[in-house]
Each structure stands twice: as C-alpha cells, then as structure tokens.
Structure 1
C-alpha cells in the first residue's frame, strides 16, 4: 500500500515536470537528479522509508531521464514549429506577391493582346488598300501601254523668207524636233490621226518685211478651223500664234496653210513652229 502511494506521488511529480516543460516554465536543464530525489524522499519519508528498495530508485531514475528527454523533445518540437510557422508566413507572403504579379501580368498580357489584334486589323486594312493600289497601278500601266504615244514638234525651215505666193500653199515643216508615232509627214506637211481621240495643236509664225501680210490657217479635213493674221507697215519683226483642241477620228487630216499674198520667215533660230499631241484616246 505504501509502495503504491509512493509511486503515485512520483507520477504526480513527473506530470508536473512535463507540464512545466510544455508551458515553458521548466526546461530539461532545470530538472536535476537532486530535486527529483528530494521530492521523492520527502514523500517516502512520510510513508515508510524502510520499505523502499534499490530497484525503486533505479526505476525512478529511469523515469526521471525519460521525463527530461520528453521535455527536451517537446521544447525542440516547439522551436521547430515556430520556425516552420515563420517560414510558412514568409512563403505565404511570397505566394501573395507572386499571385499579385501574376494578376498584373495577366492584365498587361490582355492589353498587349488587344493591341496586337488592333495592329493586325490595321495591317489587314493596309494590305487590302495596298493590293487595291497595286491593281490600280497595274491597270494604269496597262492603259498607258495600250495608249498610243503621239506627239510632234517641227520647225519650218532654215531658208529664211517663204512667200508671198499667188495661191494658198501647205506649209511643210521640215525641221524635226519630236515626232513620236510618226503621224506628221514632212513631205506632205499633213498630220494624220492614227486613232480616234482628243488632240492639242499650236503654231507660231514670224515675218520681218515691211508692208506685207502674214496670214496662216489651221485646216481640219480641208476646212479652216483656226488662223493667225499680222500686217507689218514698215520693216521689222512681227509674229502671230494660236492653239486649239480638236476631236479627231482615225484618219482625219490636219495641216497648216499659208494664204496667197502672205509670207513667213524662219531660220536657224527656229522662229516658226508647228506642234501637236494626243491628249487622250476615245
């Protein structure tokens, strides 16, 4: 009976020691063999010291060592737990920062995607416009290639004075400056329209004699459509010029006529000229 009471007292001491270790009040280093033995001896002395054997002391020592070991382990576990909690707090903070950064990146990515989509749409529109422009350019090139290239510019002569004559004569401009399309004949002095279209014609004539007339006319298919007339009373230079736009059919003829009794002048300075070109075909 007394042994059981002593063992109960020992267990109560061990329980108190463990409770103090868990609460941080007593650590493994605070528990010594002398303190435990003093508590036990006090209890045993009250009961019956003569009945305690050496085996009981060995068991008490073993129980004390186990209590100290468990207390130390509990203290270490608490330290590890606190360290883990700190690490977990740091990881949680990093995770929150990463999540915030991910949200920010998602917003930026959505914005970039919208801008890329807008750029692609704009690029598609520009590409369509470019394709249209290229087709128009090709069409203009084709039209330009198909359009006859007709233009001429001639000087009259290097002989000086021509006329006056009793009758009208066709002026044959013989000095070739330009004759694209070869539609003007220097041998006949006649321009023959190779295609139906709208043409522009101009001429300039001069004379340097006194008391003479200088009367020239532009003829279309044998009919006068434009003229220039000057009269010089005394010796000196005089000039006349004119121009017009004509609609011609293919094969129409255009030429310059010097009226009877009139005269013109030309020399190396190219004072008298006849010009024409196709504005556009019809």
Structure 2
C-alpha cells in the first residue's frame, strides 16, 4: 500500500514537470538550467523511492518491473522536453518566415495599389483617346462626304470636259477639212492708172495675203476654190483733177456694184464698198475700171482689193 502511494506521488511530480515544459514560460539558458534541476530532482525522487522500496521490500511483495516502468516514464519525459524544444525552434522559424511573407505581401499590396492607380490613369487616357477618336471619326466622315461630293462633281466636270474636248476635236477636224481662203492686194506703185475708153480688169499686183492661192495677181481675178459664202471689199483712190474715178465689181459676168466719184477740185477722192456673195466652185470675182475714169495708187496702198471665205456650203 505504501509503494502505491509513492508511485502516485512520483507520477504527480512528472506531470507537474511536463506542465512546466509545455507552459513555455522559461526559454533559452534558463530552460536548460531548469531542465537539469528537474532531472536531478526526478533522479533524487527515484532514489528516494528506491530507498523506500528497499526498506519496505522485506514487508511487501511489489513487482520489480515498476522500476523499469519508472525509468521508461523518465525517458519519455526527457524525449517530450526535447521535442518541445524542437517544436519551439520550428515555430520561431515559421514565425520568421511568416514575417518575411508578410513583408513581401505588404510590398505586393503596394505594387497592386500602384498598378491600380496606373490602370486608372491609363483608363482615363484611354477614355480621352476614345473621345478624341470619336471626334476625329466624325470629322473624317464629314471629310469623306465632302470628298464624295467633290468626286461626283469631278465626274460631271470630266464628262463635260470630255464632251468639250470632243467638240473641240470635231471643230479641229472641220477646220482642218474646211478650205482656208483669204487674200488682199494693192493695185500698183506706179501712180495713175487710166483713164481708158473701155472697161479693163484691174490687176492688183501687190499681194499682201493669198491663203489658198485663189487670187491670181497676173489676171486680177479671184476664183472660188469651193462652194461657199465669201466676203469681198475694195477701196478706190483718185488723184486727177476734173476727172472721174470708178470701178465695177463683177461676179462672173454680172456687175454687182459700181463705185465712182468725180474730182471737181484739185484734190484726192476715194470710194469703197463691200459685198457678201455666195459662190459656186469655179466662180470668179474681179474689179473692172469704169470707162473714161482712172484710179491712183502708190507705195501707201491707196487702192486695194480683199476677200475671204466665210464658210463652205
């Protein structure tokens, strides 16, 4: 009975020792010192139990295996203390790692906040850019409408230009195909011509222009190269006093007009006239001096005969 009580007291001592180790109130060198003291106390208590057991061994019949169990309990207590120390070291290491992770987490949170601010700024710029793009698109659409209108107008102008070019080309072809006829000539540089008793053809020998070579200065006759409408004009100059000055304009054998005047003073007189005639190809036109009259011409070209084709028929 006494041995059971001693065993119970020993278990209580071991339980108290474990409780002290688990409480974590003593750390570092103090824990090691205290652990050593506790180990010595346990050994002392075990020795006391052994002494008590020796004293009472003669009186009781307790099994000797209890000492082995007590030793095993002691070893278990020591192992628990070692494991507690190792666990504490692991906990401290984990706490350090947690501190590092918290620091990194805080840095990451700051980076995330900065990225959020940057994203907000980027979003604002993007919104502004989209607004500008919308304005530019609207302006571009307006410009495109203007361009389309101008393109339509250009097409109309191109059509009109093409038509005008065709008309010009047609006119050029017509002008190229139409004969060009024009002449102008002076009578003479010799001065007085006439008077004569009969009509004579005036030969305008000083040719100024003879396009188409329809006028013959040798005969003084114009011959129509094509059927058409022609314009003719002539001017006569007289310088003899008390004398007549005049001439006929002939179309073939027909007298078309007579222009004349009488110089009743000692001065110069003149007469002029013009006609538009429709001629057939081969018709002739010329001037014939009126009988008994004369004309005058010199380097000033006072007496001239001109004509040209208005249009062909």
TM-score (norm 1): 0.74
Aligned counterpart, 1:206: 237
Q: 1:85 to 1:112 in 2, by over 3 A?
A: farther
Aligned counterpart, 2:206: 175
Contact 1:149/1:180 (CA < 8 Å) preserved in 2?
yes
- Offset of 1:165 from its aligned partner? 1.8
1:85 equivalent in alignment to 2:85: no
State the Cα RMSD in Å.
3.3
Aligned counterpart, 2:92: 64
Name which of 195, 208, 211 aligns with 1:164: 195
Q: Distance in 2 between matches of 1:254 and 1:111?
A: 70
Aligned counterpart, 1:247: 278
Name which of 142, 146, 158 aligns with 1:127: 158
Aligned counterpart, 2:261: 230
Aligned counterpart, 1:280: 311
Contact 1:219/1:256 (CA < 8 Å) preserved in 2?
yes
Contact 1:170/1:256 (CA < 8 Å) preserved in 2?
yes
Contact 1:209/1:234 (CA < 8 Å) preserved in 2?
no
Deviations 1:53-111 (A, max 9, x none): 34323313322331342243134213212312322431343244245425534615545
Contact 2:236/2:246 (CA < 8 Å) preserved in 1?
no
Q: Gaps (5+ residues) in structure 1?
A: 11-33, 42-49
Q: Distance in 2 between matches of 1:138 and 1:104?
A: 53
Contact 1:192/1:252 (CA < 8 Å) preserved in 2?
yes
Contact 1:151/1:181 (CA < 8 Å) preserved in 2?
yes
Q: Distance in 1 between matches of 2:281 and 2:127?
A: 83
Moved over 6 A (4+): 1-4
- Offset of 1:119 from its aligned partner? 4.7
Q: Distance in 2 between matches of 1:95 and 1:247?
A: 90
Aligned counterpart, 2:12: none
Name which of 284, 297, 303 aligns with 1:266: 297
Q: Gaps (5+ residues) in structure 2?
A: 1-14, 32-41, 43-76
Q: Distance in 2 between matches of 1:165 and 1:142?
A: 49
Q: Distance in 2 between matches of 1:101 and 1:124?
A: 37
* Aligned residue pairs, count: 247
3-state DSSP of counterpart to 2:174: helix
Structure with larger Rg: 2
3-state DSSP of counterpart to 2:274: strand
Name which of 107, 124, 129 aligns with 1:101: 129
Q: Distance in 2 between matches of 1:129 and 1:103?
A: 43
Q: 1:121 to 1:99 in 2, by over 3 A?
A: farther
1:153 equivalent in alignment to 2:181: no
Deviations 1:106-144 (A, max 9, x none): 615545544554454444344334333332232222111
Q: 1:121 to 1:92 in 2, by over 3 A?
A: farther
Aligned counterpart, 1:137: 168
TM-score (norm 2): 0.67
Aligned counterpart, 2:246: 215
Q: Distance in 2 between matches of 1:141 and 1:266?
A: 40
3-state DSSP of counterpart to 1:242: strand
